[in-house]
């Protein structure tokens, strides 16, 4: 039985190591869903409450958190990344340093 796109996205999320980040487009590529970055965002938005998948390790291609700065999840995502040792320069993560490259 073939896995659903969401299951493939979940599998990629599960494999991202602590202290690393990926972009939405990168998750799509790794899940075998090229050009489906928006689907990744939609899938993350619909994660079940209490999910242990590391959604916070997914950022946009500019190295920024996608939530608006006033959104509670922006602060939460930033803190979770900081707790894992991912540093920010202003509002960006240095992708050269922290991007996961499996």
Output the domain CATH number for residue 74: 1.10.10.10
Token pair of 38 as six digits? 């928006």
Q: Provide, for the chain, the percentages of residues in helix, strand and coil under a 3-state DSSP scheme, each rounded to the nearest 5.
A: 45, 10, 45
Domain range for residue 69? 5-98
What is the total count of domains within the chain? Answer: 1
> pTM surpassing 0.85?
yes
Among 92, 97, 27, 98, CA closest to 58? 27
DSSP string, 29-74: HHTT-TT-HHHHHHHHHTPPTT--S-GGGEE-TTSB-SS-TTSHHH
Token pair of 40 as six digits? 């990744």
Task: Give per-residue pLDDT as tens, 11-32.
Answer: 999 999 999 999 999 999 999 9
Task: Give per-residue pLDDT as tens, 49-76.
Answer: 899 999 999 999 999 999 999 999 999 9
Can you tell me whether residue 95 is helix, strand or coil? helix
d(CA 87, CA 84): 9
């Amino acid at each position: 039985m073939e896995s659903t796109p969401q299951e493939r996205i979940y599998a990629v999320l599960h494999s991202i190591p602590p202290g690393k980040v990926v972009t939405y487009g990168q998750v799509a590529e790794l899940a075998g869903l090229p050009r489906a970055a928006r689907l990744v965002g939609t899938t993350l938005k619909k994660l079940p409450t209490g999910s242990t998948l590391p959604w916070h390790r997914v950022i946009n291609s500019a190295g920024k958190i996608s939530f608006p700065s006033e959104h509670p999840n922006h602060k939460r995502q930033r803190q979770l990344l900081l707790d894992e040792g991912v540093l920010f320069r202003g509002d960006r993560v240095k992708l050269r340093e922290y991007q996961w490259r499996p």
